Structures are given as structure tokens and as C-alpha cells.
């Protein structure tokens, strides 16, 4: 009887020793794979259920890490491209400002006013870029302070249309706003709402080819603003509100691609939404926000 017990214990010890050796071998293999940052999933020979569960969890965590790393690489590349693009966009008007001011210093009479006028136009564009970057830094860091007040949105839209009238005139477009005389009140952040309207209309000045139609109404506690512009180009409406997206990447002097992104962030901050749809040669921009922001 004692002999059998000794034999059984010896066999158990041998099996346990063999299992420990196999486990150590598998752990060494796993450690070697991890040190090489191999993207393939880890595998074991199934010598232990607990080890298999551990490896499965490591694989899940490693896949999540790969996704995060790939996203970070894409974001880093996108940021480098954006910095390069923005640096070029800022350098171009700044060079123009310097050049035309130098020309004005050497000119006489009407030539001085013409050179100063062009330099001022370029400086205003540069100032617009800087303001866009400042606003993006605020909204991305959630540092934009919301101030609630009551105002007439139709009056505000009329003011912005009037401010952009020279740009519309250059493109031969007369904006159509059927609700100009209505009294539609809203309680929200006036600066944010104004910026959204400015960016939507500025986008029409830059890209609209035939028309700019604006309509607004209030229903069930929400304000619905629609801006329709005519364009012969196909617009990627899925990317239109992405940061640094521009309809034509080859164009300079048309902004850094932040205007629609700012619209999206501000619409979210006001508890609303903004989206775009294209039907034929018409691009529809829809803004929907609560008429009363708590």
C-alpha cells in the first residue's frame, strides 16, 4: 500500500514538474514575443487553462493598444500636414502685406491707396486665420465660457448678410432671406450663434456659384436654420465638419478649414446639431438648436 502511494506521488511529482517546465517555456515564448512588439496574436499550446485565459486577455489589451497607436500615428500625420498647410496659408498673406506696404512706401497718389488696400485685405485674412486658431484652442480645451441672452435671430442674420455684402457682390450673388422681417427670439449664447452664422455665410461667399438662400423657423422649442448654396462641385458632406478639411486642398487664401469645424463644436455646445446634404447642384446646411439654452 505504501509502495503504491509512493509511486503515485512520484508520478504526480513528475507530471507537475513537466507541467511547470512547459509553463515556463510558454512564458518565455510569450515574453520573447512581447519584447519584439510582434503584431500577431499570442498563442500557447493549451498546457494550462489559466495561462490560456491570461494570454487571451493580453491579446485583447494588445489589440486595443495597437488601435490607439495607429490612431495616434494618423493624428500625428494629420497634425503635421495641418501645420504645414496652415503655415503656408499664414506665410502667403503675410508676404503680401509686407510686399504691398513696401510698394506703397515707394508709390505716389492712387498707387499708394491701392497698395495699402490690398495689404489691408491680406492682413484681415491673416487676422481671420489667427482668430480661428484661437477659437479652436478654446473649444478643444472646453474653455469657452457660455453667456446666455435673448435676441432676435432674424435681425442678427440680416446684420451678417449686410456685413458680407461686398463678398456676395463680387460673386454676383444676391442672398435671399425670406424671414428678414420676422421676430424669432432665441435664448442662447449670442457670440457662438453669431459665429456659426458668420461661418455658414462666409462659406457661401467663398464657394457658392449661383445662389444663397436662407430660411429659419421655430418649432417645438427648437430653431431650424437652413442655408442653401449653389455649387458645381461634389462636396464630401461626411468630412465637411472635420478639422482642417477644405473643399479644394489646392486652393490657398480660402481659410484653414476650421470654419465648419468651429460651427460643429459650437452647435454641440449649444445643445444642437449641424449637418450638410447635397442634392444635385445645391448644398444644404442645416442648423438645429434649442430656442432656450438652460
What's the pLDDT score for residue 6?
59
Mean pLDDT, residues 71-87 = 63
Q: Does domain 148-290 have CATH number 3.40.50.300?
A: no
The class of domain 70-140 in CATH terms is mainly alpha
What's the pLDDT score for residue 251?
47
pLDDT at 204 over 70: yes
Q: With beta carbons less than 8 A apart as the criterion, state whether 246 and 254 touch.
A: yes
What's the pLDDT score for residue 235?
85
What's the pLDDT score for residue 141?
61
More confident residue, 127 or 82: 127
- The answer to whether the pTM exceeds 0.85 is no
227 Cβ neighbours under 8 A, 6+ residues apart: 200, 201, 204, 212, 213, 214, 284, 285, 287
Q: Domain residue spans in the chain?
A: 2-69, 70-140, 148-290
Give the Cα separation of 187 and 208 in Å (integer).
30
Reported confidence tier of residue 250, pLDDT bands at 50, 70, 90:
very low
More confident residue, 209 or 112: 209
C-alpha angle 158-164-170 in degrees, rounded to nearest 5: 130
pLDDT at 154 over 90: yes
81 Cβ neighbours under 8 A, 6+ residues apart: 244
* 2-16, 150-164, 233-247: the lowest-pLDDT one: 2-16
Amino acid at each position: 500500500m505504501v509502495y503504491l502511494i509512493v509511486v503515485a506521488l512520484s508520478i504526480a511529482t513528475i507530471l507537475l514538474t513537466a507541467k511547470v517546465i512547459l509553463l515556463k517555456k510558454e512564458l518565455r515564448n510569450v515574453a520573447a514575443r512581447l519584447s519584439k512588439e510582434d503584431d500577431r496574436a499570442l498563442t500557447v499550446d493549451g498546457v494550462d487553462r489559466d495561462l490560456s485565459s491570461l494570454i487571451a486577455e493580453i491579446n485583447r489589451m494588445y489589440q486595443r493598444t495597437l488601435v490607439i497607436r495607429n490612431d495616434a500615428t494618423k493624428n500625428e500625420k494629420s497634425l503635421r500636414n495641418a501645420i504645414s498647410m496652415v503655415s503656408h496659408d499664414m506665410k502667403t498673406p503675410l508676404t503680401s502685406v509686407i510686399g504691398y506696404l513696401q510698394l506703397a512706401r515707394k508709390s505716389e497718389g492712387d498707387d499708394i491707396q491701392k497698395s495699402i488696400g490690398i495689404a489691408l485685405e491680406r492682413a484681415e485674412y491673416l487676422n481671420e486665420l489667427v482668430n480661428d486658431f484661437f477659437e479652436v484652442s478654446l473649444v478643444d480645451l472646453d474653455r469657452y465660457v457660455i453667456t446666455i441672452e435673448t435676441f432676435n435671430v432674424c435681425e442678427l442674420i440680416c446684420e451678417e448678410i449686410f456685413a458680407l455684402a461686398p463678398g456676395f457682390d463680387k460673386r454676383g450673388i444676391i442672398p435671399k432671406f425670406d424671414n428678414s422681417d420676422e421676430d424669432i427670439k432665441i435664448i442662447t449664447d449670442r457670440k457662438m450663434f453669431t459665429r456659426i452664422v458668420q461661418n455658414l455665410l462666409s462659406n457661401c461667399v467663398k464657394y457658392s456659384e449661383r445662389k444663397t438662400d436662407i430660411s429659419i423657423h421655430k418649432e417645438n422649442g427648437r430653431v431650424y436654420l437652413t442655408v442653401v448654396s449653389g455649387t458645381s462641385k461634389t462636396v464630401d458632406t461626411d468630412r465637411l465638419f472635420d478639422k482642417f478639411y477644405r473643399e479644394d486642398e489646392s486652393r490657398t487664401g480660402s481659410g484653414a478649414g476650421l470654419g465648419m469645424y468651429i460651427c460643429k463644436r459650437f452647435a454641440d455646445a449649444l445643445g444642437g446639431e449641424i449637418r450638410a446634404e447635397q442634392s444635385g447642384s445645391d448644398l444644404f446646411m442645416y442648423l438645429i438648436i434649442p430656442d432656450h439654452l438652460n
